[in-house]
Each structure stands twice: as C-alpha cells, then as structure tokens.
Structure 1
Amino acid sequence: MNLALPNGTLLQKLIAACGMLLMLALLTVLFPETGSAHGYLDVPASRALLCKNNVNKDCGGASYEPQSAEAGKGFPNGGPADGHIASAGNTFPKLDEQTSTRWSKVPMTSGPQAFKWQLNAAHATTTFKYFITKPGWNPNAPLTRASFDLTPFCQVDLNGASPSNYYTTNCNVPERTGYHVILAIWEVSGAPTAYVNVTDADFGGGSALPAPANLASTAVTDNSVSLSWASVAGAASYQVYRDNVAVGTTTSTSYTNTGLSSGTSYSFTVSAIDSSGKASPSSSVVTVKTTGGSTTTYPAWSATTVYVGGNKVSYNGVNYEAKWWTQGETPTGTNVWKVIP
C-alpha cells in the first residue's frame, strides 16, 4: 500500500508542524534556556548596581542591565579572562576600568557578612562562590587572577537546586584593610553560564589621612542636599555616605545628593581617599532634613507581611510602593520598593 501523501495536503502540513514542535521540545530539554536567568548582587551593592543607581558614572550598558553580566563558569580555571573579570568577559567593557578612585566603595567590615542576590529567574544552580583581592594587590592595574586569593572565602553548593529570587549567602569575610574588590559568581546548573559581579569594598583603616573637617549643608531642596567640607592634604578623592551607604565620589570638596524624598531626614559623612584607595576615618555626622513633605501616612512596613505590587507602606518616615510580590525586603527605594509622595 502506498501511504505517500500528495504535496501540499493539509495532513502533510500538520505532520510537519508536529515534527517541528517535537524537535523544539527536545532542544529545550537538552539545552535549557538560561537567557532569562539573569541576576545581580544586591547587598553589598555591586559595581554594576551602583552604576544603575547613578552612584558610579560612565558605565555604559551596565547602567541599564546590571543583571546581564554573563560569562563562562569555572573560575578560576575557566570564566572571564584576566583584564576582563569585572566586565564578565567584556560584557560591559567600562566595568574593567580599574584605579583606586574610579569606583564608589561600599563600607564593609571583616567577619560575618550577608551576600544577597536578586535573581530575575531562579534557575537550577550549581554554586555561589566569593573571592577577594589579596593583601597588597594593585588597585591601579586591571583585575587578573593574580589580584585575587583564588581559594573562595565562601562557597555554597546547591547541586542543581533552585534558589529563591532573593537569595542570601551568609559568609565570613577575611581580614582586610583599605580598598578591596570582592568577586561574586553565580553558576547556573546544566549550562556553561555564570553571572559575575564585583563589589568595591572599603574596609577602612590603613590611611594616614585625617578625617575631613567642617562638613556642612550648603543648600537643601525637596529632593536634594548640597554639602561642603574642608580640603584634606594628600586626598585623591572623597567618598560621600548617606545613612552609612556610599552615594558618590568626588575630587572636589563639595557634593550634591539628589533623588531624595521630601520632608525626610538624612545623615551624611565624608571620608578622604588616598592614592592607594585607602579611606580616612569618617567626618562628623551632619543630619539634614529635606524641605516639603507628605501629608499621607501608610501602614508601617513589616518584615513578616506579604506584599504585592501596588501595596503602600511607610518606613523610617518615607512612603514606599511595592513593584511586585515581596516579603522581608527592607524598603530602600532602590529595590522592589519605590519611593512615593
């Protein structure tokens, strides 16, 4: 019996379409999609996240997609090449620029530290691992394997399990002083993919520079505070902190912090940074309240309450609205919570 089908028959087209669907399904099983499995280090803030938050400047594409710093996995034997570690193998070339003063730094202490990732898609995971630069590394040279202690100071193996979208690793950070870079890597299971983030950390100490004096507010608006301070001899730059979080770096003795909430109090300090990237002690604290203010008060944020997109809360005198489902994520205005009037 001849079962050949005439060209162009409806049945022949249906069989061809079914064959294509079966092939796509097989490819999905054999080669799981990782393109949506993007993520970035949220705490302590990565170099790329500070680009997105407009603390770091001139960052190229990292300002828009901190979650997309994708490279091969297997560091240090594999992964991004020397000189392109911070950019995840040249994904964002600007991130490879390396000097002691190029990037804003996150204050950090040695010892217990939570490393929190925000994962856009929490795919099956091989491991999270963390490296840190060696004592005496050169902060004014490109990052290479020789810059780092190549034994992870912290590693969590998930062996193919899927983490939560907000995944925290509790680590013990080695003793360091001054400026160091932490390399955080999330390796996806079943694919050659890793997401690579670096954090510029200031461990303090080690600098002979004195703390900047005479920190004062020179102008205040509804959403900005301008600051000035006395010059420190030998300072290559100054790091400005708001509520103990780095918000900017400047080579001058003045700085304007924008994007603030109206009618809200903020505490500022400044440290001088020497040419090797080491920070002086912090200046005295100046607390400034922005003008204006909201007349609407929302329920106080609770770490145990489940919130969904559109829910509004009040936290430390500032009103926030959830952008999507969340629980236990402290409102900051730079995460799932956005500041509202």
Structure 2
Amino acid sequence: MANSSAVTVILLSAYYGMDDLKPVYFSVFLILYITIIMESLALMGVICVKKTLHEPMYFLVGNLAANGLYGSTALLPALLSNIFSHSHELSLPCCQAQIYTIHTYAIVEFTILAAMSYDRYVAICYPLQYQAVMPLSRVYRLIIFTWLYPLVAFLIVFILTLNLQFCEKTLDKLYCVNYSLVKLSCSDTSMVNIVGLLSVVVYACPQLIMVLYSYIQILRICALSSKESRLKALRTCTPHLLAVINYSIGCFFEIAQSRFNLSHLPYKTKVFLSLYFLIFPPILNPAIYGLSIQAIRVPLLNLFQHKNKVAPAQQPGVKWA
C-alpha cells in the first residue's frame, strides 16, 4: 500500500546508549539468538520425530516454540545489525513489517497458551473423555486457528497505521511497535487509537477468559480430589503456569516501558525491560517444557548427548506431564 509520508526512515535512538559496549551487547544478543534457535528447533524436531509425542499437548508445545522463534527473529537479526550501524535507522517499510510480526507474535503466544490451558482442563477434569474431546483432527484445526486468527485480526489496526503520515522519525526504542510509531504521526490518529484500544480487548479477553475458566475448573476438581491427584494435577499444570507467568511478566514490562516515562531508570534496566517480551519467553519456554516433561526431556538429552538410546515407550492414553 502506498504511503505518502515525508518520513522514509525511523531512527531508533535507544541504540546510542550501546556505543561504549557494542561488542559486548552484540555477543550477548547473538548467543541468546543462537540459543533460541537451537532450543526451538531441537524441541520441534523431537516432537515431530517421536511418534509417542504426537498428542495434543506436545503439538501445542511445538507451536509455542515455533512462535518464539518467529517473534525473536522479528527482533534479533535487525537488533544485531543496528548495534554496529552508525545511523541506527530502519526504513519505514521495515519498521512497519517489524510491527506486524512482533504484534502477531504476541497474540499468537497468548492464543496458544489459552489453547494449552483448555487442553489441561480437559485432561484433568474429563480424563476418560479426553481422546473424544481432543482428537488430533480437532487439534490440527485449533492450531491453524491459533495462527490464522492473530495474523488476520491485527490487519485492521496495521492497515490504519500504514495510512498515516509521519512528520517525526525518532523512536526512543530498540525496535518498532505500533503505539510508539503512531505517536510520530502528524495525521489524525483518533481512529487508530480507538480501534487499537478496542483491539486489545478482542486480542486478549477471549484468551484470558479461557485461561481463567480452565484453571478455576481445575482448582474445583482438585479440591474434591485426593492429595495424590492434586499433586499429579500440579505437575501437569506447572510448565504451563510458568509459561503463562513468564508471558505475563513480559507483557507488564512491555506496557510499562511503552506507556510510562522510565527515563530515571539506568540504561541497562530499560534495555532489559524492553527486550524481555521478545527474548525470555522464546528462550525459557523450550527449557521449561524440555526439562519438566520426561517424555520430551529424555529424547532431548539423548539428542544433545549424541546417544542412540530411545526413550522408554509410554503407555497409550492420556499422559499428564
């Protein structure tokens, strides 16, 4: 879509704080990106190859890792390139593309986490009906929805942003986000702001309701169950709860550093707050699931230790991690 804006590049001024330690920042972010790639590909590869892992929960875990790779790739290659750039600029189309990928990453992440909470709810509250409620054909449709819905839903806000004219070009950030870019516009942004505010409700509320409903029902069942059943339910929910908490922390940090004046904070703290959302969920989620779920942990350890042992076959049926 054509954009008649006088501004053709966006200056990301937050990079100037890295000038004294460019090699250090570059090395740290490169190591983090390589770690995310290796973790995500290893987890997805094990889930694809091991037939014992061809179950709803594991397919959702694999998609969570794929989305983390998608989100981190929207940020880190451009970040690594900009660290050693003298201008610290992104072309306006590249900035807008980064906005689309980062925002859709966030929506996909929450949608997958909501689907995973429903999966745990069915597995714990209706274990005998689990296979009937969550057949693989339905799971495949659910996974397609978790990707297509965010990619299409964000288009409304994104198209409105594309039609804006920009008279300023400086963002005090390390990457482009929609809210910050809109503030640089000299066009009337009232429609973008209204639609953007309403879209937050559409993007977040259904998923939030699903997560809360699922865990309320799980807690209700646990209250009526034996101590052993409660511990078993806790074990199967712990990885998902950690992933939700990790995502929520990232959301809080992103909102705090985007909407409030944090100029009093040290530069390194602001960098940590701004990048947590796009680095720590992708790097921690594969570790959380890879270490806490034995069915995934054993094949992964065999992979990294270059052993040819096959993990013990698990009994068919519903498997609580």
Query: Given the two structures, how large is their TM-score scaled by the length of structure 1?
Result: 0.25
Q: Highest Rg: 1 or 2? A: 1
Q: Which has the higher strand share?
A: 1
Q: Which has the higher helix share?
A: 2
Query: Given the two structures, how large is their TM-score scaled by the length of structure 2?
Result: 0.26
